[in-house]
Structures are given as C-alpha cells and as structure tokens.
C-alpha cells in the first residue's frame, strides 16, 4: 500500500475514534456565566450576571436578543463569551431572555413584548443597579426591538448599540422574495401552526446559504477531526445554531407583515399598541455595527438608522464578518468586542 494512502487511512481511523469520543450536544457547556433572575413576566426573564467586584462603569448594559434561537450566543462558552468579556471590562450586565413560548403563548404580540416587557425590565434594571441611565444593546431582531423601545421610551437611555439590526426592509435579499405577500400568508401560517416551529425558521435561514450550511459545516467538522483540533468550539456553535425556539404566532404575523412586507419602521409609519414609533425621538449615543459578509442582515438594512435618529453622537462600523461570526466567531475578540468596549468606556462614566 502506498505510504500516502496508509497515512490517510490512519488519519481517517483516528478521526473516527475522535468522533466517537466527542460529547453529545447536551453535554457541551454553553451559557455558563453565573446569573440571577431578578424579574419575570410570563416567559420573559430579566437576568443579572454575577460580579465578584463592584462595576467600574456606572451605566448598566441591558442585552436584548431575538425571538429565534436562544440568547446564549452572547455567552457561548467560557473563553468565548461576550458577556464574560463585558463583566471583565467592569460593566454591570443584564439580559432580557424571551424564554420558550408554549401553545398558550400563540397570541403573544410584539405590542406586549416590546411595549410592556422591555419597559418593565428596564425599570427593574435601574432599581436593582441604582443607576439613573442605562445602555441598551440589541442583536439582530433584538436590535430592532431595542430601537423601537428607544424611540418610544427615550428617557434614561444613555447609549443604544445596534448589532446587525434590520431597520430598512426594502431590500432584504432572498427574504424579500420569500416573505412577499404573494408567496407567504403569515396569518394563514400562524392560524395553522399556532407558534411557528424554531426548526422551520432555522431551515429557512440555512437555505439562504445552502452549500455553506449543508455541505460546508459538516466538512469543517471533519476537517477539525482529521487535524485533531479541539471540537468544543464547533460543538458549542453547532448546538446553538440548532437550538431554535418557537416564534409566537401573533408576533410572527406582525414581524412579517409590518417589517418585511410593508417596511413600516423605516418609513416612519410603524405603530406599536396604537403609538407611532418616531425614530427621531432617539437622542442617545448610537453605535451601529454591521458585518460586510452578513447574509441575514446585510449592512444596507442597518445603516439607514444613522440618518433616522436625532442623536448628536452617532458611530457606524462595518466589520469583516458574518451575522454570527461578528459576535462569536474567531475574530470577534479582536474586532467587535474591543470596539464596543472602547466605545462604551467613553460613554459609561
């Protein structure tokens, strides 16, 4: 047998042994930073991450994530945790976790989640932290929610950070086609399913880049195995990607209709619980961060926010990263994290 073939066979055999030895996804440690629940409403919880010392920055940071997947992408694993990083930088960190809706939550609306839950969570943040102002950091859809809250309840908001946040839905790429009212009746979907299953949304997102997601991802797994590299980072990300939660049916209808189909927010005609959302009410310091390789929320969907607010302090940065890699990829600790730390450090005294 040629030497190269023998070596390849040995490598494949070793990779198979390593494959058999890797833990199941349930055994992979994610979201490990210690935290305490300080407030709840229905399935929504407000968590405060524990600190061993008093924060050096007096302005608490409130993290707002999307309704799809779970928020531990912000606290992926020890050593690769944005939350862990913020704590190390001296911040008092809170998280609004929407939880996992059940059948009984199928009528939950964005009016309730954004208009009621976020303001009440913020009041508890200020109460338990003793602060007068706060920072709101929203990621993806969570950034859209944070922006709407900032426009409706601007008092006390010192800083607004919008990471890969969709604002202008006029051109959402393939998602504009898929959500076109000629092809998608969101009300019909919600009426039949109640809550939209997380795996259905995940499949749609993966179909935006099918080769990468269905061929490239398994290939990367085998490459790591063949090279004998640590599988924990890949497993943690794989666990999160496939750990979707249901989308409340009523909120799903609003999200598709009001944003993707009618683009009401950017046009200034969006209303939440009968109250018009005027982005010009936002006067907080604003940081908009996009990823140039983001296929879910390309930069042109986020950057219009810069011109729609009344903030005197506005910063926009586009990093060489994708939608998830921006926050939790191998380059995040060199790119996004220090960018946010430097920006917040100057505005959180």
Instruction: Tell me the whole-structure pTM to 2 decimals.
Output: 0.92
Least confident of 1-5, 110-114, 304-308: 1-5
Q: Which residues are catalytic?
A: 140, 294, 323
Q: What is the mean pLDDT of residues 266-279?
A: 97
For the chain, give the mean pLDDT: 92
Chain centre distance of CA 240: 11
- Based on its alpha-carbon atoms, the radius of gyration of the chain, rounded to whole angstroms, reads 21
The answer to which of 39-48, 80-89, 123-132, 239-248 has the lowest mean pLDDT is 239-248
DSSP string, 99-117: ----GGGTT--HHHIIIII
CB neighbour burial string for 35-56, b if at least 16 within 10 angstroms, e if fewer = beebbeeebbbbbbbeeeeebe
Burial of residue 20 (number of CB atoms within 10 Å: 0-12, 13-18, 19+): exposed
255 pLDDT exceeds 50? yes
With cut-offs at 50, 70 and 90, classify the pLDDT of residue 118. very high
Q: In sequence order, which ranges of the chain are alpha helices (DSSP H)?
A: 3-21, 82-88, 110-112, 118-129, 141-152, 174-178, 186-193, 198-206, 210-211, 217-227, 232-241, 249-254, 264-267, 299-302, 305-308, 325-328, 336-345
The stretch 177-189 carries a mean pLDDT of 96
Region of residue 37 (left: phi > 0; alpha: psi -120 to 50; beta: else): beta
Domains of the chain as residue ranges with CATH: 21-172+263-345 (3.40.50.1820)
Q: What is the pLDDT of residue 231?
A: 79
Burial of 336 (0-12, 13-18, 19+ CB in 10 A): buried
Percentage of the chain exceeding pLDDT 70: 93
> Among all chains, which residue has been given the structure tokens 């490990």?
32
Q: How far apart are CA 273 and CA 332, in angstroms?
A: 37
How many residues are there in the chain? 349
Proportion of the chain above pLDDT 90, given as a percent: 78
Helix%, strand%, coil% for the chain, nearest 5: 45, 15, 40
Q: Write down the pLDDT at residue 7.
A: 46
According to the model, what pLDDT value does residue 227 have?
Answer: 73
Query: What pLDDT, on the 0 to 100 scale, is given for residue 6?
Result: 44
Whether residue 276 contacts residue 115, with contact meaning beta carbons closer than 8 Å, is answered with: no
**Torsion angle of alpha carbons 290, 292, 293, 298, nearest 10°?**
60
Distances (CA, A) of 79 to 63, 234, 333: 19, 14, 10
User: pLDDT-derived band of residue 221, with 50, 70 and 90 as boundaries?
Assistant: confident
pLDDT of residue 269 exceeding 70, the answer is: yes
For residue 210, pLDDT beyond 90: no
- How far apart (Å, rounded) are the C-alpha atoms in residues 290 and 323? 8
């Amino acid at each position: 047998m040629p030497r190269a073939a023998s070596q390849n066979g040995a490598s494949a055999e070793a990779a198979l042994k390593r494959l058999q030895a890797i833990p199941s996804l349930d055994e992979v440690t994610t979201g490990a930073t210690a935290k305490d629940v300080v407030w709840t409403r229905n399935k929504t919880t407000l968590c405060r991450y524990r600190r061993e010392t008093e924060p050096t920055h007096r302005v608490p940071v409130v993290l707002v994530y999307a309704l799809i997947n779970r928020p531990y992408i912000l606290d992926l694993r020890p050593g690769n945790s944005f939350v862990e990083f913020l704590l190390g930088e001296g911040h008092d960190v809170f998280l609004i976790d929407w939880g996992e809706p059940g059948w009984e939550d199928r009528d939950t609306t964005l009016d309730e989640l954004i208009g009621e839950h976020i303001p009440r969570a913020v009041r508890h943040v200020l109460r338990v932290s003793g602060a007068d102002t706060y920072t709101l950091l929203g990621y993806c859809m969570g950034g859209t929610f944070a922006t709407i809250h900032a426009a409706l309840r601007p008092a006390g908001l010192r800083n607004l950070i919008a990471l890969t946040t969709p604002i202008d839905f006029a051109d959402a790429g393939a998602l504009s086609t898929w959500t076109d009212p000629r092809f998608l009746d969101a009300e019909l979907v919600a009426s039949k399913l109640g809550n939209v299953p997380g795996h259905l949304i995940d499949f749609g997102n993966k179909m935006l880049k099918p080769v990468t997601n269905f061929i490239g991802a398994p290939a990367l797994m085998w490459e790591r195995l063949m090279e004998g590299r640590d599988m924990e980072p890949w497993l943690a990300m794989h666990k999160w990607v496939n750990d979707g939660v249901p989308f409340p049916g009523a909120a799903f209808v609003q999200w598709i209709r009001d944003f993707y189909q009618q683009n009401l927010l950017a046009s200034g005609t969006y209303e939440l619980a009968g109250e018009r959302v005027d982005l010009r009410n936002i006067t907080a310091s604003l940081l908009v961060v996009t990823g140039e390789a983001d296929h879910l929320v390309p930069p042109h969907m986020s950057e219009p926010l810069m011109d729609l607010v009344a903030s005197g302090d506005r910063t926009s940065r586009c990093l060489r990263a994708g939608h998830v890699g921006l926050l939790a990829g191998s380059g995040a600790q060199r790119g996004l994290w220090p960018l946010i730390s430097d920006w917040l450090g100057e505005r959180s005294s």
